[in-house]
């Protein structure tokens, strides 16, 4: 009897502490014809993303699908979260590395499952046909291109506006962190150790421009940072 009571209490405790992730609190199904495909700012314009389960922008499990038209390339990028890809249709080409190299692409037919550890640089190419993959991971979803020049978000008109705002924010942070500025010393190292690839590129471009002018100072660096683009 005591064992039964213990088992009942354990199940009750489990029900009390087990919270359902977003979108998984009720039984439901998602059919292919019900999927809502939408553009995603970090993808090329013709690529579409659909949220199947969960909220990718929040902490917790999520499932998405990505549809890439024939011929489209996704340049080297990385995700902070571990991912499991399932090929739904078409042939999924993926390569590892920080440079796009067609010779490193591996082809996976429908039904294939690919495990991609977080922060692994990789790239895709819809080389033979359109493909659809399903991605399962623990959010929040993250995507960072190895080169800011490959990020479609910053190449779009709306993205450029956000890019300029981001640049100004980065400029303010970098300049505010400098107490002494010269062509050699810790201050240059501080600029080069900016927290993101975009910030590093801006810092390097600005320092190069200031050095060419022969003018080194907070005001000059701030102006050059805000003028520089990767």
Could you tell me the mean pLDDT of each successive run of 10 residues in the chain, 230 residues long? 50 59 79 92 92 91 96 95 97 97 97 97 97 96 89 60 48 50 40 47 50 41 43
From the CA atom positions of the chain, what is the Rg in Å? 23
Q: For residues 101 and 124, what is the distance between their CA atoms, to the nearest angstrom?
A: 10
Query: Token pair of 150, please?
Result: 């490959």
Half-sphere exposure for 227 (CA within 13 Å, toward CB): 12
Rounded to two decimals, the pTM is 0.63
pLDDT of residue 148: 82
pLDDT of residue 229: 40
Q: Using an 8 Å Cβ cutoff, are 104 and 95 in contact?
A: yes
Superfamily of the domain at 17-146: Jelly Rolls (2.60.120.10)
Q: Which strand ranges, in their side-by-side order, compose the sheet holding 60-68?
A: 48-53, 60-68, 131-139, 83-89, 113-116
> Start-end ranges of CATH 2.60.120.10 in the chain?
17-146
Strands 113-116 and 83-89, by their bridges, are antiparallel
For 58, phi then psi, to 5°, come to: -115, 165
Torsion of CA 68, 97, 207, 80, to 10 degrees: 70
């Amino acid at each position: 009897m005591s064992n039964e009571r213990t088992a009942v209490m354990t199940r009750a405790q489990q029900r009390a502490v087990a919270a359902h992730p977003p979108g998984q609190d009720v039984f439901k199904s998602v059919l292919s014809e019900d999927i809502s495909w939408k553009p995603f700012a970090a993808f090329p314009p013709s690529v579409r993303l659909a949220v199947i389960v969960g909220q990718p922008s929040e902490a917790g499990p999520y499932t998405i699908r990505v549809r890439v038209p024939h011929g489209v390339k996704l340049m080297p990028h990385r995700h902070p979260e571990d991912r499991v890809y399932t090929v739904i249709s078409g042939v999924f080409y993926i390569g590892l590395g920080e440079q796009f190299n067609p010779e490193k692409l591996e082809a996976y037919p429908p039904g294939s499952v690919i495990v991609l550890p977080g922060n692994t640089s990789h790239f895709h190419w819809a080389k033979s046909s359109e493909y659809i993959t399903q991605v399962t991971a623990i959010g929040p979803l993250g995507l960072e291109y190895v080169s800011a020049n490959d990020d479609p978000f910053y190449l779009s008109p709306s993205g450029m506006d956000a890019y300029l705002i981001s640049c100004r924010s980065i400029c303010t942070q970098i300049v505010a962190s400098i107490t002494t500025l010269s062509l050699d010393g810790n201050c240059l190292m501080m600029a080069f150790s900016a927290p993101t690839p975009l910030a590093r590129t801006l810092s390097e471009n600005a320092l190069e421009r200031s050095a060419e002018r022969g003018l080194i100072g907070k005001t000059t660096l701030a102006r050059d940072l805000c003028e520089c683009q990767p």
